[in-house]
Amino acid sequence: MQPLRFGILGAAQIARKLVPAMRRAPGVVPVAVASRDAAKAAAFAREFRLEPVAGYDALLARGDVDAVYIPLPDGLHEEWTLRAAAAGKHVLCEKSLTASCASAGRMVAACRAAGVRLMEAFMFRFHRQHARVRELLAEELGAPLAYYARFGFHLDDPANIRLRRAWPAAASTMSAATASVARDWSSAASRPPSPRSSRWRRGTAWTPRATRCWNLTGPAAATWPLASSTISPAPTRSGRSRGS
């Protein structure tokens, strides 16, 4: 079987972690890296034994690239996903995929029309610990009643692109990760919460609700810890929740 040949669309720091993982994955071969800065592409290529490419369009034009990994800033994800799809390339795009449902719809529609795959790069979905949680929810515990997580990091560089408020979704990556876990685990269970739960009542219908937000803590510092998914009683016709 022919390996899936990847081009890296941008010499970002996060790509430095993914390229070695690609080399370890069966059936995947990283081929080339592109940057708008030819010297930056050359330096990255030397470090990871890739072909350097000057410019993103030049990478999409290569015949030896089947798929692209997009580690660009969130505000560029839609543009380059659409261009990659038009070039017939599969797309592995960093999270957050994009800033709105409308934007995501355009990306999905373009990839479907081109007959290529689009995937958001949430690596945790394939971790054995998360697989075990999904297994427990599906087979033993049932749907979770509530989920709360904190995940973030401190930024002290005012020039960091994540602090540019004008960029769509620039500050959403951390909250997107925790919200994605909540969504993944809420959908893993094939039945309502376990009857062993003190909050469970016979005949109560349960529906998942997910929230996502971020919090900027200053002009030169930021954290994004907030995401939750709460399973709560479905409202009755009167508008009040059953069991409330």
On the question of a cis peptide bond just before residue 96, with omega within 30 degrees of 0, the verdict is: yes
Sign for the CA dihedral angle at 181, 183, 187, 192 comes to positive
User: pLDDT at position 67, please?
Assistant: 98
Name which residue leads in pLDDT, 160 or 235: 160
185 against 52, higher pLDDT:
52
Percent share of the chain, pLDDT over 70: 68
Is the model's pLDDT at 6 over the cut of 90?
Answer: yes
Q: What is the dihedral of CA 5, 9, 15, 16, to 10 degrees?
A: 80
Q: How sure is the predictor about 139, in pLDDT bands with cuts at 50, 70 and 90?
A: confident
Of the candidate ranges 68-72, 144-148, 169-173, 217-221, the one whose mean pLDDT is the lowest? 217-221
pLDDT above 90 for 241: no
Quick one: pLDDT at residue 178?
76
SS (H, E, C) the chain: CCCEEEEEECCCCCHHHHHHHHHHCCCEEEEEEEECCHHHHHHHHHHHCCEEEECHHHHHCCCCCCEEEECCCHHHHHHHHHHHHHCCCEEEECCCCCCCHHHHHHHHHHHHHHCCCEEECCHHHHCHHHHHHHHHHHHHHCCCCEEEECCCCCCCCCCCHHHCCCCCCCCCHHHHHHHHHHHHHHHHCCCCCCCCCCCCCCCCCEEEEEEECCEECCCCCEECCCEEEEEEECECCCCCECCC
If you average pLDDT over every residue of the chain, what do you get? 76
Domains of the chain: 4-121 (3.40.50.720), 127-233 (no CATH)
State the pLDDT at residue 119: 94
Of 27 and 179, more confident: 27
Catalytic residue ranges: 95
| Side-chain-facing half-sphere of 58: CA atoms under 13 Å | 14
pLDDT band at 231 (very low <50, low <70, confident <90, very high): very low
pTM beyond cutoff 0.75: no
pLDDT digits (tens, 9 = 90+) for 90-108: 999 998 888 788 999 999 9
Average of pLDDT values for 118-137?
88
> Which tens digits make up the pLDDT trace of 33-43?
999 999 999 99
In tens, the pLDDT along 43-73 reads 999 999 999 999 999 999 999 999 999 999 8
